[in-house]
Chain A
Amino acid sequence: MSKSQRFFRALLRLFPAEFRGDFGDDMTATFNDQARDALAQGDRMAALRLWRDTIAGILTTAPREHLDVLRSDVRYALRNLRRNPGFTTVAVIALAVGIGANTAVFSIVNGVLLQSLPYKDPGALVIMFEKWPNTPVDKFEFSAPDFEIVRSLARSFSGMAAFRSTTFELSGTMEPQRIVGTRISPELIGVLGAAPAVGRGITADDDRTAARVAVLSHGLWTRAFGRDPGIVGRTIQLDGQGYTVVGVMPENFSFPPRGGGRNAEPADLYLPIAFTPFERGAFGMMYNNTVVARLAPGVTFAQARAEIGSMLPTLAERYPPILRQLAAAITIPMSGFADEVVGGSRRMILVLMGAVAMVLLIGCVDVANLMLTRAGSRQRELAVRSALGASAPRMVRQLLTEGFVLASLGAVAGGLLAYWTMELLLSLAGTSLPRVESIRFDGRVIAFTVALALVTPLVFGVVPAIRAAVQSTFEALKEGTRAATPGRGRHRLLASLVVAQFALALMLSVGAGLLVRSFIRLLASNPGFRSEHVVTATTTVPVGRYASGPQVKQFYLRATDATHAIPGVTANGASTDRPLNIQERRTFTPDASARELPELSRVIAATWTIGSYFEAMGIPLKRGRFFTDADGRGGQPVVIINELMANRLWPDQDPIGRQIKWGIAASQSPWMTIVGVVGDVKQSALGTETIAQTYEPLFQLPDAPRVANFYRTINLVVRSSREPASVLADLRATIQRLDPALPVTNAQALADVVGESVKPQRFSMTVVAAFALIALGLAAIGIYGVLANAVSQETHEIGVRMALGARPSTVVWSVLRRSLALMAVGVVIGGAGALAITRVMSGLLYEVRPTDAATFATSVLVLAGLAVAASLVPAWRATRVDPLIALRAE
């Protein structure tokens, strides 16, 4: 063969094998004729032209021929699937559930992890915190002086901005409503690469002069002002004070992004941060500004971090001498903005993705099982096709096409399933997922589903297809009329698929079991208070009508008195923070009697209370006394500490009568006398660490208006003998009666507050458990299918044994034994797999080790139950075999 002939033959391989078989020789002969004539002309151009035309012709016709084959294969597959509705339904459902679950979870992965933040070049945005080593507080925001020092020194950034969120009462437009206002440095919008859609942003002038100006979010502009085009220049009322609207942000702008931590709720409007002279000098306190910065072009993250690290000594030097030792320990951790927003959710989302991947795998094994089982009954059909000249590769192609058709049907059904499940999933997640707003069905999610439809048939279809095709060519038509008994090889293959299902199902149920156990532990963990029969609600008194401290305090007195009059109330009080959400952190200095403690571990939580707060919350008194009405109104300042703090500072003495004060040793704050020790209460969600804490009477706080702003928001707590819902209604009515304009928020039973604090855990547990149940169901289908098939193949043998006097119980046991044996192998493999993969879950678990023996044992029991349940029907059917009929069938 000449070189050009060989090349032409190679080109022919682009055609489907069938076409090549039919016309390959003719085409080669024709091409030879053409080539000979072209050569005879002695014209190099003619030869080149021939090649050009030939190659172009093959490249255009070959795909069309493939499409032809595909079309006929799809038609054939559809006809086949229609003829076996049982097989088709089960296979499509198994695939739809698997693909649907994967699509739904991938849309979360896509929205939260893959989608970049909606800002310009978000990869260059970083977020910074301050940190003291060995403190009970992980990391905290910036104080105003620290921010200004770092900003003036840093050279690695093209811009750096601070922001801080608070809530305001927006009034004058409609019903007064609470909105989130974020105070921002003038650079912020530019750092994010955004610009207002209407009007202007916050300028440096606004910031310097502390101008009362506001930039609205598109959402608030729409909601409260009906997209009034003349909004710029209008005055709005925030906490009773007039602010001029200077601009509106575009619709797609949302900041800060939702995601754990402080200052992480999308704002309704933006105001100048305008640090006051007091804030600028607030060294060592008021660490509450989040800092975001953009890396300068060409500067890497590592370079920027190194620069920040190198400026720490300078930062400490700028502190007042008395605080320098404290400041020298400060570090500034920095992370990518997106990483910070996603934070701890990444692990949870990846665990979910792993769970659904297993569901899909189990579904694929189901379909592979079904196809192999069916291959037995299909053998004759395939043998006929093979005898009629279909080659083995041709039949593999045909059978794979059938797989693709099944997977496509599954993908369509699964896509719809996912679309509907998303709503459910998102409502379950609530705000426990960051960036919920960016989770949706977009092109990438659809592409993912299509990819699944293309890949899954390779997982479940290749082995059955090759086996079926190869067998049919070897055994063409040689079998008798009886359905071919499966070969030993197929038996082994089916058995190993069942083992695989057991193993996968075990891994998934161990994972789910761990999350469930951890969640139960979490719910059973003691928050430090008794939430039954307690309700709570929050209100905020506006600056406008309650300008001074005494006015605010006066209102609080009236409110607690009025609340006490609600029928059935046994104790009531109030505090500055909501339970499980105590945000205030302070440093303190104890008197000389206390054990020497490094300054850095003197960061503690602090709360201010009114009335019988401890009794209402059910916080137990350990020593001394609770506050009385006399406390905090003149006389000696008093304080109650938690047990943890008492044990740490006065391990061998009675702390009652000892004193502490706020700030460092040199601070001018008054000494407060400890009058009581109470039980430890969680400052944040269940499952978090408890730290030292103080309680003071709120009335002990100064009356100055600047301080009064600190306690404008109060959280009422009511314990009663009545049903929470009706008490809540009364509580709401009581506040409204006192001042109808006051907003009442977070009105909840305390038990619901506790429940809400474990919402992320509840979400991952519920979802993984649901997927595990689905997986068990799918595995049961597969196991049942294989066993039922095996029993029906052995009808003859069982009949013989029964005829020879075997007892039904013996027959049942032989079937059961087989499935339990398969399960045992699956448990060993799956157990090893579970040990390997549950390790990644340790961060998600509370007081449960990933190797928890009880969880493993329970999962194995569940699987054993499943194995028995799935074998019972086939086993029972085996005992019903009539020996005569079985033998006659021969």
Chain B
Amino acid sequence: MIRRDAHDLLPLTPAMFHVLVALADGETHGYAIMKDVEELTGGGVRLSTGTLYGIIKRLLADGLIRESYGAQRGDDRRRAHALTAFGRDVARAEAARLEHTLSIARRKPLFRKA
């Protein structure tokens, strides 16, 4: 397989990034991702089902996540999703990019923490 450079996909949309972050702890299914994103952002980002699955489709197509049937509870047959190694790389690269951007801004007094 051709090795792809994680940086080719940057920058990610904030919503995409949040989904990757929500998956960082391990595989999980759609509703859990939504709740996680909402919790992590303190209610700031609320994904709708349409938006979420649009993102999942793109992340799957780009190979950032994969489908997983491992953690099925009872009769819950819905698919869960998990980060791939490449997805992990991309998420890290995006985090680094954001950090770097912020550090540039911090050189000005306006953006320094109080």
- Interface locus among B17-25, B44-52, B106-114: B44-52
Taking CB atoms, residues of chain A closer than 8 Å to B69 are none
Q: Contacts of B56 on A, CB cut-off 8 Å?
A: 23
Pick from B30, B54, B57: contact of A30, CB below 8 A: B30
Q: How large is the interface on B (under 10, 10 to 19, 20 to 34, 35 or more residues)?
A: 10 to 19
Could you tell me if B31 and A23 are in contact, using CB atoms closer than 8 angstroms? no
- Chain A min CB distance to B15 (Å): 11
A31 and B57 contact, CB distance less than 8 A: no
Q: Which residues of B contact A43 (CB under 8 A)?
A: none
- The binding surface of chain B is classed by DSSP as helix
Q: Do B57 and A58 have beta carbons less than 8 Å apart?
A: no
Within the complex, what minimum Cβ distance (angstroms) separates B80 from chain A? 10
Cβ A26 vs Cβ B53 within 8 A: yes
How many whole Å from A7's CB to the nearest CB in chain B? 13
Of A22, A23, A58, A64, the residue contacting B48 (CB under 8 A) is: A58
Q: Which residues of B contact A56 (CB under 8 A)?
A: 48
Chain B residues positioned under 8 Å from A30 (CB to CB): 29-31, 34, 49, 52-53, 78
* 8 A Cβ contacts from B1-53 to A: 29-31, 34, 46-53
Interface assignment of A57: CB less than 8 Å from any CB of chain B: yes
Q: State whether B57 touches A29 (Cβ < 8 A).
A: no
Given known contacts A26-B30, A27-B30, A34-B34, A60 and B53 CB-to-CB distance under 8 angstroms: no
Near B by CB (< 8 A), chain A positions 14-65 give 19, 22-23, 25-27, 29-31, 33-34, 53-54, 56-62, 64-65
Do B49 and A34 touch (CB < 8 A)?
A: yes
Partner of B51, one of A19, A34, A57: A57
Complex-state Cα separation, A860 to B49, whole angstroms = 64
Contacts of A26 in B (CB 8 A): 29-30, 53, 78-79
B76 to chain A: closest residue by CB: A29
CB distance from B68 to the nearest CB of A (A): 12
Partner of A27, one of B46, B49, B76: B49
- For residue A692, give the distance in angstroms from its CB to the closest CB of chain B: 83
Give chain A residues whose Cβ lies under 8 Å from the Cβ of B34: 30, 34
- Give the distance in Å from the alpha carbon of A471 to the alpha carbon of B34 in the complex: 43
Known: A22-B57, A23-B56. A58 touches B30 (CB 8 A): no
CB-nearest residue of chain B relative to A53? B48
Q: How many A-B residue pairs have CB under 8 A?
A: 61
Q: Is there an interface contact between A65 and B30, defined as CB atoms closer than 8 Å?
A: no
| Distance of A64 Cα from B34 Cα, bound (Å) | 20
What residues of chain A lie closer than 8 Å to B46, measured between beta carbons? 53
CB distance from B62 to the nearest CB of A (A): 13
Q: Is the CB of B50 within 8 A of A57?
A: yes
Contact of A61 among B29, B51, B76, B79 (CB under 8 A): B51
Interface centre among A19, A61, A65 (most CB of B within 10 A): A61
Cβ B54 vs Cβ A61 within 8 A: yes
Give A160 Cβ to nearest chain B Cβ, in Å: 64
Which residue of A29, A54, A58, A65 contacts B78 across the interface (Cβ within 8 Å)?
Answer: A29
Question: Are A54 and B50 in contact (CB-based, < 8 A)?
Answer: yes
Residue of B nearest to A57 (CB): B48
Q: Mark B53-73, 1 if CB is under 8 A from A, else 0.
A: 110110000000000000000
- Tell me the bound Cα distance from A248 to B51 in angstroms: 63
Partner of A25 from the list B48, B57, B78 (CB cut-off 8 Å) is B78
Tell me, in angstroms, the Cα distance from A242 to B50 when the chains sit together: 80
Q: Which residues of B contact A61 (CB under 8 A)?
A: 48, 50-51, 53-54
Q: Is the CB of B53 within 8 A of A23?
A: yes
* A200–B49 CA distance with the chains assembled, in angstroms: 69
CB-CB under 8 A from B48, the residues of chain A are 53-54, 56-58, 61
B60 to chain A minimum Cβ distance, whole angstroms, is: 9
Tell me the bound Cα distance from A59 to B51 in angstroms: 10
B47 surroundings in chain A (CB, below 8 A)? 57
Take A27-B30, A34-B34 as given contacts and tell me if A62 and B50 are in contact as well, using a CB distance cutoff of 8 Å.
yes
Kindly list chain A residues whose C-beta atoms are within 8 Å of the C-beta of B52.
30, 57
Closest residue of chain A to B79 (Cβ to Cβ) is: A26
* Given A54-B49, A56-B48, A19 and B31 contact (CB-CB distance below 8 Å): no
Near A by CB (< 8 A), chain B positions 66-113 give: 76, 78-79
Task: Pick from B31, B54, B57, B76: contact of A34, CB below 8 A.
Answer: B31
Chain B proximity mask over A249-279: 1 for CB below 8 Å, otherwise 0: 0000000000000000000000000000000
Q: Are the C-beta atoms of B57 and A23 separated by less than 8 Å? A: yes
Q: How far is the CA of A124 from the CA of B81 in the complex (A)?
A: 69
The complex places the Cα of A641 from the Cα of B50 at a distance, in Å, of 90
Whether the Cβ atoms of A60 and B30 lie closer than 8 Å is: no
Q: Which residues of B contact A29 (CB under 8 A)?
A: 29-31, 76, 78
CB distance from A143 to the nearest CB of B (A): 76
Query: Lowest 3 CB-CB distances: which A-B pairs, in order?
Result: A57-B48, A57-B50, A33-B31
Chain A residues engaging chain B, CB cutoff 8 angstroms: 19, 22-23, 25-27, 29-31, 33-34, 53-54, 56-62, 64-65
6 contacts between A and B (CB under 8 A): A19-B57, A25-B78, A30-B49, A34-B34, A34-B49, A54-B48
Knowing that A26-B53, A27-B50, A34-B49 are A-B contacts, what are 19 other residue pairs whose CB atoms are under 8 Å apart, sorted by A's residue number? Answer: A23-B53, A26-B29, A26-B79, A27-B30, A29-B30, A30-B34, A30-B49, A31-B49, A53-B46, A53-B48, A54-B49, A56-B48, A57-B47, A57-B48, A57-B49, A57-B50, A58-B48, A61-B53, A65-B57
